[in-house]
Amino acid sequence: MPNTVVVGAQWGDEGKGKVIDMLSERADIIVRFQGGNNAGHTVVVGGQEFVMHLIPSGILHPGKLCIIGNGVVVDPKVLLEEIDSLKKRGVEIDGNLGLSDSAHLIFPYHRALDKLREAIVGPGKIGTTGRGIGPCYTDKAARVGIRVADLLEDEVFRRKLQMNLEEKNELFVKLYQAPPFEFESIYREYCDYRERIAKYVIQVPIVLNRAITQGKSILFEGAQGTWLDIDHGTYPYVTSSSATAGGACVGTGVGPTRIDQVIGVVKAYTTRVGEGPFPTEFPPPLMEQIRSKGKEFGATTGRPRRCGWFDAVLVRHSILLNGITEIAVTKLDVLDDSPRVKICTGYRLGEKFLEVPPAVIDRWSQIEPVYEEHPGWLMDTSQVSCFEDLPPAARRYLKRLEELLRVKISIVSVGSKREQAFHV
Ligand code: GDP
Ligand code: IMO
Ligand code: MG
């Protein structure tokens, strides 16, 4: 298989985990390149549901090397819990997991800051997952972050943790009127983590580039989605990392010339968790119907996901931003009971017709989506295993998406289970 980046082309939760699981069979190495345990990637195999937050979704395929890249922010507590939980369920984790020495670590003060900042801004909040993601990336950019390699060297770790706590405790006490963090207990807690994670630590750029030179194939697993990307998303209602395909290079140390293709994952409709604009959001009755049929509750926080029609304006721009070469459409089955299905083909903003979303966030609330309407198929697609067996109206819907997006749909998914998907 060519070296492939898989990214979400909407606001996350497109079904990237399922697509990665499907493609992992033909890859040698699967690497997560950004985000942290704000992600929740679901894979359903043999009647069991697995939700991965940090470990790549290829881990359920024995013999594949799964790597957490330098672009990921790692909460070691969550990583170790995930390893334990997978092992308990019979998944082998021994020599098949690698952790970048340059990945930044999440500390308890990051989680606390995430929650305090959200609380203090009130109505202007982002609706984060509260996992400390933003504050950890803030420290990375401010050049005060603590990386996996720092943790491995006791003196370095002590010094950096002390320095961080001095500054952060000022914030907690003086700005947020919150209790400060104590050095000794964090230090001890993280020394325990060090004992357990040390064996996974590798130099990811070396491992990956050597593998590519040897002709092995790499699958780059994106988290979140294009419209949550720190640069290209609906800023400030975004996450703090590069969720677009460019992030795969930055977050692993593999150059762009060594990547061959980019698969964009989309739902057959749209969802979003947290605050921020959403032009095609459903009105209440339809919202409940699709949310319940699609089980649209966050895989990480359990929050109800906001749902809406497929937005071709958003996805067309995602294709441009990521250089998407193929599309995977998931959750087609969720639209099975809809008598009519709509696709947003353009935005009206006052007198203007927009084909590309606006850059200024305040304009988004004034956007009026322009829809085309298609007859639904009103048939169960969940058992379909090839494109030709889909009901004609479902085929027409997918063909119309292809026309609007000008990119081939190469995978269609019609249920959460591994076998409920096919290549086109
Ligand atoms: P990710 O974050 O992009 O990996 O997506 P999530 O795992 O957060 O959310 C996708 C949800 O949809 C999960 O519960 C999947 O099990 C489920 N899912 C994936 N593909 C399909 C599909 O084709 N049909 C249905 N009904 N569910 C799907
Ligand atoms: P996966 O990988 C959907 C959203 C949060 C919030 C915003 C910022 O499963 O697709 P953060 O905690 O990152 O600072 O929150 O981003 N968000 C996600 N939404 N899927 C995700 O990941 C998300 N990760 C973060 O809801 O709006
Ligand atoms: Mg998810």
C-alpha 39 to ligand 2 mean position (Å): 6
Q: Which of 1.10.3720.10, 3.40.50.720, 1.10.150.120, 1.10.300.10 is the CATH number of 104-196?
A: 1.10.300.10
d(CA 323, CA 325): 6
Query: What are the residue ranges of CATH 1.10.300.10 in the chain?
Result: 104-196
389 is catalytic: no
Nearest ligand by distance to the CA of 42: 1
Contact 352, 368 (CB under 8 A): no
Q: pTM to 2 decimals?
A: 0.98
Which residue CA neighbors atom 12 of ligand 1 most closely?
Answer: 15
**Is pLDDT above 90 for 301?**
no
In Å, the largest CA–CA distance within the chain is 66
**pLDDT of amino acid 32:** 98
Task: Report the percent of the chain where pLDDT is more than 70.
Answer: 100
**Is pLDDT above 90 for 240?**
yes
**Is pLDDT above 90 for 179?**
yes
What is the rounded average pLDDT for all residues in the chain? Answer: 97
C-alpha 212 to ligand 2 mean position (Å): 31
pLDDT band at 142; cut points 50, 70, 90: very high
**pLDDT of amino acid 300:** 84
**Is pLDDT above 90 for 305?**
yes
40 Cβ closer than 6 Å to some ligand 1 atom: yes
C-alpha 43 to ligand 1 mean position (Å): 8
Domain made up of 4-100+200-263: CATH architecture: 3-Layer(aba) Sandwich (3.40)
d(CA 259, CA 6): 11
pLDDT band at 73; cut points 50, 70, 90: very high
pLDDT band at 124; cut points 50, 70, 90: confident
**Is pLDDT above 90 for 15?**
yes
423 is catalytic: no
**pLDDT of amino acid 6:** 98
**pLDDT of amino acid 122:** 82
The predicted-structure confidence for 351-374, as pLDDT tens digits, reads as follows 999 989 998 899 999 999 999 999
Nearest ligand by distance to the CA of 336: 1
Tokens of 130: 């509260």
**Residues β-bridged to residue 163:** none
Contact 227, 233 (CB under 8 A): yes
Residues 6 or more apart from 254 whose CB is under 8 A from it?
3, 205, 208, 209, 212, 218, 220, 248
d(CA 328, CA 415): 13
28 Cβ closer than 6 Å to some ligand 1 atom: no
CATH topology of domain 267-423: Adenylosuccinate Synthetase; Chain A, domain 3 (3.90.170)
Which residue CA neighbors atom 5 of ligand 2 most closely?
Answer: 128
